[in-house]
Amino acid sequence: MPWPGFACASEPPDERTKNPTYMTDTPGSQLDQLGKALNNDDPEVRWIGVGDLEAIRSREAVILLIQALNDTRYVSIRWRAAIALGNQGDPVAVDALVSVLSDENDHVREEAAEALGKIADPRAVPALIDALEDPQRGVRLRAVKALGNMGDSAVPALRNAEVTGKSTLLKAVTEALEEIGRRNLRAQQQK
């Protein structure tokens, strides 16, 4: 995975990030310090702040991650925040993730679609249906996978995509429908 602020950098962060100053020089709570890290001029400090927030399971951390999702300076912070929000799984993030499905960067859109699939909130279904028309194949495929995670609420959209969708999506749509069917069967068997 590339380091923040760099498209293809494979070098690890330098010494600054091993003991970031935002964790030692700033008074206040850990969340306050991480909130300040998200506004730091150094993209590596922002990156680490997002990663640290991902590990904190709280509504306050989710709100700060939503702030990072709207970072205007570093695209890598936006897509990393989308990943973190998906891993948090808090439905509070759904509206923010839906809004970045129209981000100018395809990687941000891909990660937002995947995050919405992890959260699996049915409110995201209409936006994920729209994402099936995204110009980038990766976004379309992640939207199909996310719809598959939504369960029965997404079946009509997936059936429609199966009939009218692009041929590159057919396999993914079929797999998503099959997975929904398997989950429904397991649920019935457990009753």
pLDDT digits (tens, 9 = 90+) for 22-56: 444 444 589 999 999 999 999 999 999 999 999 99
Q: 3-state SS string over the chain?
A: CCCCCCCCCCCCCCHHHCCCHHHCCCCCCHHHHHHHHCCCCCHHHHHHHHHHHHCCCCHHHHHHHHHHHCCCCCHHHHHHHHHHHHHHCCHHHHHHHHHHHHCCCHHHHHHHHHHHHHHCCHHHHHHHHHHCCCCCHHHHHHHHHHHHHHHHHHHHHHHHHHHHCCHHHHHHHHHHHHHHHHHHHHHHHHC
Total number of domains constituting the chain: 1
Domain for residue 155, yes or no?
Answer: no
Tell me: pLDDT of 5 over 90: no
Residue 2: give the domain boundaries: 1-88
The predicted-structure confidence for 45-101, as pLDDT tens digits, reads as follows 999 999 999 999 999 999 999 999 999 999 999 999 999 999 999 999 999 999 999
Domain for residue 43, yes or no?
Answer: yes
Domain for residue 184, yes or no?
Answer: no
Tell me the whole-structure pTM to 2 decimals.
0.81
Domain for residue 14, yes or no?
Answer: yes
Domain for residue 177, yes or no?
Answer: no
Domain for residue 55, yes or no?
Answer: yes
Tell me: pLDDT of 11 over 50: no
56: domain CATH number is 1.25.10.10
